[in-house]
Every structure is written in structure tokens, then in C-alpha cells.
Amino acid sequence: MKILIVDDEKDIADLIDVILKNEGFSTIKCYDPETALQEVEQNDDIDLALLDVMMPKIDGFSLCAKIRVDHTYPIIMLTARGEDVDKITGLTIGADDYVTKPFNPLELLARIKAQLRRATAFSSQKNGTLVLGALSINREEHTVQLFDETVSLTPTEFEILWMLCENAGRVVSSETIFETVWKEDYLDSNNTVMVHIRRIREKLHEPPRNPKIIKTVWGVGYKIEK
């Protein structure tokens, strides 16, 4: 699998490059976002992108947004700051996960492999189609349609929506969603699920104050009506 590495700190980019190649991955290493955008345009076989947040001219958030225009492969943000606002910003614009610098190489590898497993499952599992009103989600083709309009979701977003549709009529807690999709222990302060739900609603053209498809059950979780 091919991984795009973008970090203006050459020592860090080189370290990640070595770690990934030792694990058998193919890599594209870029020290600036401009070169990275060229590589994204020229390579249609990238499986995952690692983007540093703090870069000159074009920061990692802007680069993530540009990639998301045409691509749905997983994106992991590398941030030197552990502030929640950075994490929420990254998730809101399309990132799937984040790792705070300085990072443990084993943790970084684990997160990369988890995202790749999810993306692989996204493109290979076959579990039929669910139709809920105007919403249709197909597990085999990994497509989502709303009123015959195709909705483009990342693998993580698709997994969340499929889980809600599969449990239509029942409330699915934020904890259950997080631990099922991310396969990590859930913390009460974790905003990851909330941000992804918000992004899915935006793609479904849900009104922010009164969503019609994905309902919030305050203090519990989310559900989609049958």
C-alpha cells in the first residue's frame, strides 16, 4: 500500500518514511504542501495520507480540505499541539484521525494500520443494501444515495452511517460507535463521533438545527428512524 507523507520537518518526514518502509509500505515523501498537491494529482493509487498541521503557505488543514475534494482515502493529521480545537478542526474538514507530536512510532503504525483495515473493509465487504425512506446505502458497492443523489463519504463516515442504518429505530450510543469504528476505549470528553456525525449530516444536506435523518438522543447517542 502507498502512503503519502507530508511534513516540512525533514527529520520527522524521513523518520516516518523509514518506519513505513521497514513495514513494507510504499511511500511518497514531501517536505512541502505544494509538492504534495502535485503528487496527489499525479498518483491515483495513494491509500492513506499523513499530513503535518503546521506548515508554511498551505497548512495541513487546507491541504486536507483540498485532498477531500476528489479523494476519500484515510487522512491522519500530525499535530504538535494537543489542543481539542486542532483535533476538532481536522476532523471537521475531513481527517479520519490525528496523532500528536512527539509520537510513539508504534502508536503511529497502529493508527495507520487501523485506518487501512477500515478502508480495505470499506472496499471489500458485501452485506447488501439498506433503504430507509429516501436514503439508500449499499454495502457491496459502498455507495450512498439520497433522493437519487450520490453522497460521497470517507470509509469512516460510511462505517458510522452503515452502523446507524443497520440499527434503524434503535439508539446507538457514542461510546458504541467509537469503540466499534475506531476500536479504542471511549472517553467521555471525546468529540470524535460528534464531529463525524456533523460532517455526515452536512453531506446529507441536513438542517443543522433540526436534522431529519440522523436524530440526536441527548445524553445517549444517535439513531435513524425506520
107 and 136 share one domain: no
Dump pLDDT digits (tens) for 33-68. 999 999 999 998 999 999 999 898 899 999 999 999
Q: Strand 26-30 and strand 2-6: pairing?
A: parallel
Nearest Cα to Cα of residue 112 among 4, 225, 224, 221: 4
Same domain, 80 and 62: yes
Q: Is the pLDDT of residue 83 over 70?
A: no
For 127, the 3-state DSSP assignment is coil
pLDDT of 88 > 80? The answer is no
Q: 32 with 93, same domain?
A: yes
Residues 96 and 207 in one domain: no
The more confidently predicted of residues 30 and 1 is 30
Q: How far apart are CA 171 and CA 90, in angstroms?
A: 27
Q: Are residues 63 and 89 in the same domain?
A: yes
> What per-residue confidence (pLDDT) applies to 9?
93
pLDDT value of residue 215: 92
Q: In terms of domains, do 88 and 134 share one?
A: no
Chain centroid offset of residue 28 CA: 20
Supply the CATH number for residue 105's domain.
3.40.50.2300
Confidence at residue 125, expressed as pLDDT on a 0 to 100 scale: 47
Q: How many domains does the chain have?
A: 2
List the grid coordinates of 103: 509520537
Domain encompassing residue 49:
2-122
Residues 92 and 160 in one domain: no
Residues 161-206 have pLDDT tens digits of: 999 998 988 999 999 999 888 888 887 656 889 999 999 999 999 8
Cell numbers placing 45: 493509487
SS3 for 160? Answer: helix
Residue 127 binned pLDDT confidence (cut-offs 50, 70, 90): low
pLDDT, residue 163, reads: 93
pLDDT, tens digit, 9 for 90 and up, residues 103-122: 899 999 999 998 888 777 65
More confident residue, 4 or 98: 4
Instruction: Scan for cell 439508500, then name that residue.
Output: 136
- From residue 5, alpha-carbon distances to 56, 73, 78, 136, 151 in Å are 16, 14, 10, 35, 28
Domain boundary (66, 91, 122) is at 122
Over the stretch 185-196, which tens digit does the pLDDT of each residue have?
Answer: 887 656 889 999
Burial 169-182 (b: 16+ CB within 10 A, else e): eeebbbbbbbeebb
Q: E-strand spans in 90-184? A: 97-100, 129-132, 135-138, 143-146, 149-151, 172-173
Q: Give the residue-averaged pLDDT of 54-83.
A: 88
